[in-house]
Amino acid sequence: MPVSILRRTCILAIAVLLLAGGATLIGQRGGGGARGARTSVNRSFGGASASRSFSGASASRSTSGVSADRNFNSANVNRNFNSANVNRNVNSANVNRNFNNVNVNRNVNNVNVDRDIDVNGHYGGWGGGCCYHPAATAAAVTAAAATTAAVVGSVVHTLPPACSEVNVNGVPYQQCGSTWYQPQFAGTTVNYTVVNPPQ
């Protein structure tokens, strides 16, 4: 196999895998707690909030590779995407576009800080949020997941622009082009799961 084709195939595979990872990632963080201060001293800090906090916390930050999810979030993914080889190639696969344009920002903030801010789907995530910050570029992967890879079952916090609500059997779906989203509460946070078009 010629080198160029091999490389392109690999890059595509990488992109797809990262996208898949990004999509699931966000769902795991749904509970509105992410990594933050506990709000109760009587809860044993077990159960949901504990695992949430611990998974994102110290365990993996300092030790390389202990928690894939941590690394995924921070250093490595980004580094890979920013480093010369990958980036060049990913561009052709339509992935990079999402990393470099506005979508990144929007979704990045959703993941890290903005993630459970109420956002009205109709304005597509703009204007409804607060708290933009530069430290969050790491999770840019989810941006691509939100806009390009509408994999059924993936979860986003912000809808793409131009959606309309369609009520089917009492469920207020959001139809965004050919992609359908079902809103739900993950904890107190609203997020959207990509679903098959309702019958």
Partner 1 sequence: MSISPRATRFVSPIAAALLLISCGRASRTQQKAAPTENPPAAEGTTDSAAPTTGTVETVTPAPQEAGGAPERDANAIKALDHMSAYLRTLKSFQIRSETTRDEVLDNGQAVTFAGVTDMLVQRPNHLRAEVTNDKQNRTYFYDGKSFSLWGQRVNYYATIPAPPTLRALVDVLDEKYNVEMPLADLFYWGERRSADDLESAVDVGPSQIGGVSCEHYAFRQKGADWQLWIQQGDFPLPRKLVITTTSDEAMPRFSSVMTWNLAPSFDASAFTFVPPKDARRIAFVVNGPSEVAQ
Closer CB to partner 1, 11 or 176, in the complex: 11
Please say whether the beta carbons of 99 and 140 come within 8 A: yes
Q: How far is the CB of 153 from partner 1 (least distance, A)?
A: 9
Closer CB to partner 1, 103 or 173, in the complex: 173
Encoded amino acid at 197, one letter: P
Closer CB to partner 1, 85 or 100, in the complex: 85
Closer CB to partner 1, 83 or 100, in the complex: 83
171: three-class secondary structure by DSSP: strand
* Residue 172 backbone phi and psi in degrees, to 5: -85, 75
Q: How far is the CB of 141 from partner 1 (least distance, A)?
A: 9
Helix axes 102-112, 3-28, angle to 10 degrees: 40
Q: How far is the CB of 134 from partner 1 (least distance, A)?
A: 10
Cβ neighbourhood burial of 81 (10 Å; 0-12, 13-18, 19+) = buried
Q: How far is the CB of 120 from partner 1 (least distance, A)?
A: 7
